[in-house]
Structure 1
Amino acid sequence: MKLRIRHLAILSLSSLLIAAGCGNNNNNATTNASNATNAPAATTEVPLAPVAEKLNIKVSFYPMYEFTKNVAGDLADVEAMIPAGIEPHDWEPTAQDMAKITAADILVYNGAGMEGWVDQVLDSASDSKLVAVEASKGLQIIDGFEEEEEAPAETSNANAKADEHEHSGLDPHVWLDPALAIQEVRIIEGALSAAAPENAEAFTANADTYVAKLEQLNQEFKDGLRDTKRKDFITQHAAFGYLAKEYGLTQVPIAGLSPEQEPSAAKMAEIVDFAKAHDVKTIFFETLVSSSVADTIAKEIGAKSAVLNPIEGLTDEDRSNNLDYLGIMRLNLEALKLALNE
C-alpha cells in the first residue's frame, strides 16, 4: 500500500523568561527583563500521521461497480471500464483501457466467461502490481448454452452436428440472484481488506450494510414469487437461469447467452408452440438490445412484451430515474409477479 507523507508541521512556541533577581539594583532588574524578552523562540517539530493513498480500482461493468463501490465507500476510487449503455458481452478494451487497468491497484471482474478480454489484460499486466479479483470465484456456476443452428442440406454428416443443441460453457449471470450477489460482495470485501488492511474494518462495515439490503431484496423475491400461478417465463436472452433456480422458476429462453444472437426458425416455432400451450401472455426482452424477436413472438401469440432487465449496464433512462441495482431488481420482481400471475 503506497503512503504519501505530508510535510512536517512546524509549531512555534514563544518562551517568556522571567528574570528573578535579588538586591536593590533596579538597573540590573531592568536589563535582565530586557534580555529575557529578546530571547529566541524555541521550535518543536510535530509530525502528522501518514495518510493512506486511496486504492485505485477498475471494474469491468455495472454490477461489479455497484458492489465494489458499496464496499469501498470513500476509501477508493472506483471506475467501470465498460461505459454505461454499452452491451458488455462483446466489449473489448482499447490500448488506453489496457493502460488504465495495468496502472490500477485492483481489477474486479465477474468472471465465469463474462469478460472474454480478462486473460489478455492479465497477461499484459503480469509485471505490474495489479491484483485481479474474480467476484464469482468459488460460486456454483451453471452451464449455459447457445441457440442451435440449422445446417444446410448439403452439409456432410461430419458437420451436421451443428444442428445439435451445443453448450457454450458457463452462464456468468450470477449477479441476478440476490443470494449469489451477496457472496460476490463478500469476495470483493475480502480482496479490498487484503489490499488495504488498515481499512479492513471500514470495508467490512460497508459490506455488512450493503449485504443487509441484499438480504432484504432476497426475502422480497422469495415472498413475491413463492405462490405465483405459473412458474415458467419466456425471455429473449438466457440471462435468468440463476434467478429462476433460486426461486423455483423455469426460464424458457428464445436465444442463448449472447443477447445479440438470432434464434433459428425452428427455435422460434418451438417457443410459439410452448407459449400457446401454456397460455403465456408476456414475452420478456431486455434493455441495451433490440426487442424485435420478443415483439415478433408476442404478436404471433397475441401476447405483450415487457422488460426483464439483466442489469448488464445502465441506460440513460435508468440514470435519469436514479435507478441502481436494488431498484432495477425490484422492477424485475414486479414484472415477474405480473407475468406469472396472469
Structure 2
Amino acid sequence: MRFVNILIVSVLMFGIYSCQPKQAKKVENQISVSILPQKYFVERIAGNDFQVNILIPPGGSPATYEPTPMQMEQVAKSVAYFKIGHIPFENTWMNNMIEAAGEIKVYNLSKGIELVRGPEVQHGDHFHEGGIDPHTWSSPKAVIQIVKNLYAGIVELAPEKKETYKKNLDQFLSELEMLDKKSAEVFAEAEHKSFMIFHPALTYLARDYGLNQIPIELHGKEPSPAHMQHLIGEAEKHDIKVVFIQKQFNKENAEVIAKEIKAEVIQIDPLNEDWMAEMKSIINHLKGEA
C-alpha cells in the first residue's frame, strides 16, 4: 500500500510538472526542511530572513509521512533543502523532490556527527538506512554540529548577512554548550541512568550522556505479550522511574508497563518546533525535577 501511495504521488507530480512549460519559479528566500525543530534552528540563526517550508507537519511521523503534491511544489520553489539526514521520509522521497525541484542546493545537517549504527532495523514498513539511527537532533551535543552545518549553508545563501548570522550562531552555541555541560554534569551523578521509551527517539541523548535507553518497540512493531513481560523485568532490574511515550504513538503499552513497575508515563514530543523548551523538559524529566 505504501508503494502504491508513493507511485500515485509520483504520477501526480509528473503530471504537474509535465504540464508546465518550465520549472516552478524560485522564491529567493524560501528554503525547505524536513522536520519542525529545523525551523527553530533556522530562526535562531537567520531570524525571519527565510520562509521555511516544513515537509512533515505537527503530528506527522518521519517514518511514514508522505508529502502532498502541493508540498512537493513548494520544495520546487525553494532555493535550498536542508535535510536532517537519514530519516526514512528523506530516504524515500528526497530523490523525487530534488528531481522535481530542478536547481536547488541540498545540505545534510547530520554531516560530521558520529552516527549511531547498528543492525538494519525495521520500523513498520520501512528500514532505517544501513542501521543508522536518524534521531540526531535528540542531543544538545549533536545539535551543536547540526547548527554549525546549518550556519554554513545559510551563509552560502546570504553571504551579505554573514556577520549578523555569526553573532546569532555564537549566542545559540553558547546556550547549547551550557545545556550540554549541565546535562553531562547532571547525568554523570545520576543514580538512575536507565529510562524506557516507546520508540527509540533519544538514542543520541543516551549515547552522549551515558544513559541507557530501553525501547518498548520490538523491531518497529508493537511488543508481544512475551516481550511485554521481558520489558517489565528489564524495568524492574534497572529501577526504571520514567516511561516516555511520543505524542505520535498510542500510550496503552507504555501505561501497562508503567503500572506494573509503578513508574510515571510522560508524553514527550522530540518533533516539537520549540526544540530548546522540549529538550530541557525531557532532560528535567530524566533527572526527576519536572
Residue of 269, 276, 279 corresponding to 1:326: 276
Aligned to 2:111: 137
Which amino acid is 2:117 matched to? D
Structure 2 counterpart SS, 1:299: helix
Q: Separation in 2 of the partners of 1:68 and 1:60?
A: 12
Q: Residue 257 and residue 56 in structure 1: after superposition, are their counterparts in 2 closer, same or farther (change >3 A)?
A: farther
Aligned to 2:137: 175
TM-superposition CA deviations, 1:236-269 (whole Å, max 9, x none): 11111111111111111111585xx312333222
CA RMSD of aligned residues (A): 2.5
* 8 Å CA contact 2:195, 2:241 repeated in 1: no
Once the two structures are TM-superposed, the CA of residue 172 in structure 1 deviates from its matched residue by 0.8
Structure 1 counterpart SS, 2:112: coil
Once the two structures are TM-superposed, the CA of residue 105 in structure 1 deviates from its matched residue by 0.7
* 8 Å CA contact 2:241, 2:264 repeated in 1: yes
Aligned to 2:75: 101
Q: Residue 281 and residue 139 in structure 1: after superposition, are their counterparts in 2 closer, same or farther (change >3 A)?
A: closer
TM-superposition CA deviations, 1:100-132 (whole Å, max 9, x none): 10111111120123433222212322xx22111
* 8 Å CA contact 1:237, 1:253 repeated in 2: yes
Aligned to 2:146: 184
- What TM-score do you get using the length of structure 1 for normalisation? 0.69
What does 1:69-84 correspond to in 2, within 5 Å? 69-84=43-58
Q: Separation in 2 of the partners of 1:257 and 1:54?
A: 43
Aligned to 1:296: 256
Residue of 107, 113, 119 corresponding to 2:95: 119
Aligned to 2:175: 213
Structure 2 counterpart SS, 1:133: strand
* 8 Å CA contact 1:224, 1:333 repeated in 2: no
Q: Separation in 1 of the partners of 2:129 and 2:152?
A: 33
Residue of 233, 241, 244 corresponding to 2:206: 244
- What TM-score do you get using the length of structure 2 for normalisation? 0.80
Once the two structures are TM-superposed, the CA of residue 306 in structure 1 deviates from its matched residue by 1.9
TM-superposition CA deviations, 1:174-203 (whole Å, max 9, x none): 111101101110101111111222222222
Larger radius of gyration, structure 1 or 2?
1
Identity percentage of aligned residues = 29
Q: Separation in 2 of the partners of 1:84 and 1:139?
A: 26
Q: Separation in 2 of the partners of 1:237 and 1:205?
A: 36
Which amino acid is 1:191 matched to? G
Q: Residue 83 and residue 113 in structure 1: after superposition, are their counterparts in 2 closer, same or farther (change >3 A)?
A: closer
Q: Separation in 2 of the partners of 1:337 and 1:287?
A: 21
Q: Separation in 2 of the partners of 1:168 and 1:292?
A: 30
* 8 Å CA contact 2:31, 2:51 repeated in 1: yes
Which amino acid is 1:136 matched to? S
What does 1:6-155 correspond to in 2, within 5 Å? 55-115=29-89, 116=91, 117-125=93-101, 128-143=102-117, 146=121
Q: Separation in 2 of the partners of 1:214 and 1:257?
A: 32
Higher helix share: 2
Once the two structures are TM-superposed, the CA of residue 277 in structure 1 deviates from its matched residue by 2.5
Unpaired stretches in structure 1, ≥5 consecutive residues = 1-52, 150-165, 315-323
Aligned to 1:7: none
* 8 Å CA contact 1:62, 1:311 repeated in 2: no
Q: Separation in 2 of the partners of 1:303 and 1:196?
A: 49
Residue of 264, 285, 289 corresponding to 1:335: 285
Once the two structures are TM-superposed, the CA of residue 133 in structure 1 deviates from its matched residue by 1.3
Q: Separation in 1 of the partners of 2:260 and 2:129?
A: 28
Which amino acid is 1:234 matched to? M
Q: Residue 148 and residue 129 in structure 1: after superposition, are their counterparts in 2 closer, same or farther (change >3 A)?
A: closer
* 8 Å CA contact 1:147, 1:264 repeated in 2: no
Aligned length: 257
* 8 Å CA contact 2:63, 2:87 repeated in 1: no
Structure 2 counterpart SS, 1:88: coil
Q: Separation in 2 of the partners of 1:182 and 1:281?
A: 29
Residue of 294, 311, 318 corresponding to 2:270: 311
Aligned to 1:267: 227
Q: Separation in 2 of the partners of 1:202 and 1:139?
A: 26
Residue of 189, 210, 213 corresponding to 1:227: 189
TM-superposition CA deviations, 1:28-49 (whole Å, max 9, x none): xxxxxxxxxxxxxxxxxxxxxx
Unpaired stretches in structure 2, ≥5 consecutive residues = 1-26
Which amino acid is 2:277 matched to? G
Q: Separation in 2 of the partners of 1:136 and 1:257?
A: 24
